[in-house]
Chain A
Amino acid sequence: MTGLVGFLIFAVVSALIFGAVSIGWRSVLVILLDTLPVPVSIAGVEVSPIHEDILLQIRLPRVLLAAAVGSSLAVAGAVFQGLFRNPMADPYVIGISSGAALGAVFAMLSGFSLVLGGFGAVPLFAFGGGIITIITIMLVYSMARVGRAVPVMTLLLAGIAVSAFLSALVSLLTYFAGERLHMVVFWMMGGLGGATWHQVKVMVPYALVGYICVSVFSRDLNAMLLGEETASNLGVNTERVKKIMLAGSSLLVAAAVSTSGIIGFVGLVVPHFVRLVAGPDHRFLLPASALLGGTLLIATDTLARVIIAPSELPVGIITALLGAPMFLYLLKKRKKLRYFGGGG
């Protein structure tokens, strides 16, 4: 865990140094120290005010947002994989992303110039779409009750159906997008461009609330991995755990997607990474996934900014391009997938 914290700090500092304009590490240090209420000075380093602006107003919020989004996606992925006992599950599996996309695309195409609490129409509608999807799934959830309980498999299938329906609506809107098609496609690929402090301030509390919700129930989720009946026999209130897990991780996903679009792969692969190395215990898995997810997204976002600077690539492309081969390597090195599907 300490190692992961180290990685995260290293990623943050590197991300602050590199970019279209490179800022030396000494300058970075000075600028950061300057923001502290206590005056600390390092002699002999001249800091240009432009660098200071780039660092504090552009890079730092972007890095922090990347950390928050990466963590949220990774944690939500870990929870969905555990809850559904399915290695294919990712944060988008039950359609929250499709709902958010529908909201976002609708906002883009309708050309609303709504501004609320400092936000434009796109993130607002995306968040709204995500939340409406959660509510829809909760409704489906209560309709899917079999006797007293809802089997997670029913829940998963219901989520997939809702997701497919919303995706179809997104495609329908996209079909008529006309000259705004570029905007829609770019949003769907996901990216952290244009991150502001304001976004960080709004996104982080949602992410924290979501994270606390799910992590408090880590031990319950461990028991759920052995099957719902077993968990119930061990004293887990499975219905309550399912609802809270679903609500908490949905909040994480909705917050992430509305600020950064649909960034793939982080939420799918990071939890697997951690499980391969450290086992399935959610009391470790969730915080470790948060740290690694944040680190990974900061690192890939930095690459996305740097590779074709001053222009930038959608970060989702980088996460998949780098993450997939790394994951395959790890799979091969561990010879067999010891979790999910038995002895291998």
Chain B
Amino acid sequence: MGLNIEVHGLKLAYDAQPVLEDTNFSVERGDLVALLGANGAGKSTLLRCISRILKPNAGHIMLDGTELKHFDSKEAARKMAVVPQETTADFDFTVEDIVMMGRFPYLNRFQKEDQSDREIVQRSMEMTGVAHLARRSITALSGGEKQRVIMARAVCQQPEALLLDEPTANLDIGYQSMLLELAARLNREQEVTVIAAIHDINLAVHHFNRFILLSGGRVMSAGRAEEVITPDNIQKSYGVPATTYRHPLHGVLQVSVVREKTRVEGHTKRPVVHVIGGGEEALPVLELLIGRGCRLSVGPVSAQDSGCRFAHFHSLPVVIVPPFTSMNGVHKEEHLELMRKSDLVVVPPIPFGEGNLPIFEEVEAVLKEGKPVYLIDLAGVEKRDYSGHAPQLLKNLVQRGAVVLEKLEDLPGVVDRHGGSDNG
């Protein structure tokens, strides 16, 4: 099992509008490939060329070294099965009937389905978890069930390659994973070559191990996730700024589209805000403030911290400390400088440990100079304190005039009250 698919110099135009332009790639026997690319990049068109629905204007498609056009309809259907985005199921066929259609390429015109065909149908339905629906009408199924039936039909076709065209576009997240895992399982257990056009990059990286990125009908990049899914490639092919990061649980590469740098009217009237610390506690604060057009400074944060990445992405002034070091005063002047330049200082509900206690001294210093300081959500402070001193130190800040905001949602009001200033 497993099919080697090569595409050389493929060209195709709809009404003189080129969709594929000199597309080249090869997929090895047993590859598990996600075909990525923006809407209109040519993903579906490419798959429909391989599945013989469309005839390219130029170029070659080779299956195991033999040109595709040398295969007749049934031969090609024994090599490749297709799972489309959606299948019209207007007719009252049973699930079993639909799956049995996968045997079409193996039966000649006057041959009846025999016991072995029925067994293959049964196994296919069991594998995709639709055996219990065998007698139900396809018209009575949900989208997710229907798509698994179509998957069963593809399995029943016993193909060497499986082509999936946006198979998960209409499914909920549960069915999305289930369907792609099925494809991955076929690849693993039967070495079926899988090529899937997929929109959701973050979903794709969980299930696939090779990636082909199409842009403007050409292959922009192909290879492992790390080689293909880069902010630069995403920016070029999808036309949006993006960052990549590791999934916090699975460690796979993830993409996030970032908001364009906000350009709010009356920019200069917005205050300059300094936000203390980084991590997932500070990010919502940073995101909220930048969304309201504030000018920001950040710090101190450790070099690999998400707050640090945020600052770099938006080109914000930031105080950086090397990872796993304590704030030993080296950065004190830098930090004080940023706080002094700002109109107000915000302390998000970050965790405290021995390492970052010097922050309190610095904040207290600017507080004494009359800088407004806001502390967000002190209710659970004991839970995020690893030093034993933070609750007391925070209380001191409050006594010195720092204002406590019960929740993040109170912050916009505060920012609006401050308005802009001339410094910074």
Contacts and interface: CB of A to CB of B under 8 A. Distances in A.
A118 interface: no
Contacts of A279: 92-94, 97
A341 B90 contact: yes
B53 A235 contact: no
B52 interface: yes
Interface string A274-289: 0100011100000000
Contacts of A343: 139-140
A226 B105 CA distance: 16
Contacts, number: 92
B3 to A, nearest CB: 15
Interface in A152-167: none
Interface string A232-275: 11111100000000000000000000000000000000000001
B84 A229 contact: yes
Contacts of B236: none
A131 B37 CA distance: 50
B89 A234 contact: no
A237 B72 contact: yes
Counting chain B CB atoms within 10 Å of each CB, the highest count among A222, A237, A344 belongs to A222
Nearest to B82: A233
B8 to A, nearest CB: 20
A222 B80 CA distance: 20
Contacts of A233: 51, 53, 77, 80-82, 84
Interface in A204-227: 216-217, 219, 222-223, 225-227
Contacts of A225: 90-91, 93
Contacts of A329: none
A338 interface: yes
B93 A281 contact: yes
A238 B62 CA distance: 22
A213 to B, nearest CB: 12
A226 B101 contact: yes
B89 A342 contact: yes
A233 B157 CA distance: 10
Nearest to A239: B73
Given A233-B77, A234-B102, A279-B92, A147 B87 contact: no
Q: Which 6 A-B pairs have the closest CB atoms?
A: A235-B77, A235-B105, A339-B92, A233-B82, A235-B74, A280-B91
Interface of A: 85, 147-149, 216-217, 219, 222-223, 225-227, 229-230, 232-237, 275, 279-281, 338-344
Interface of B: 48, 51-55, 72-78, 80-82, 84, 87-94, 97-98, 101-102, 104-105, 107, 109, 137, 139-140, 153, 157
22 contacts: A85-B88, A147-B55, A148-B55, A149-B53, A216-B109, A219-B107, A222-B93, A222-B97, A226-B88, A226-B89, A227-B88, A230-B82, A230-B84, A233-B51, A234-B153, A236-B73, A237-B72, A279-B92, A338-B140, A339-B90, A339-B139, A340-B91
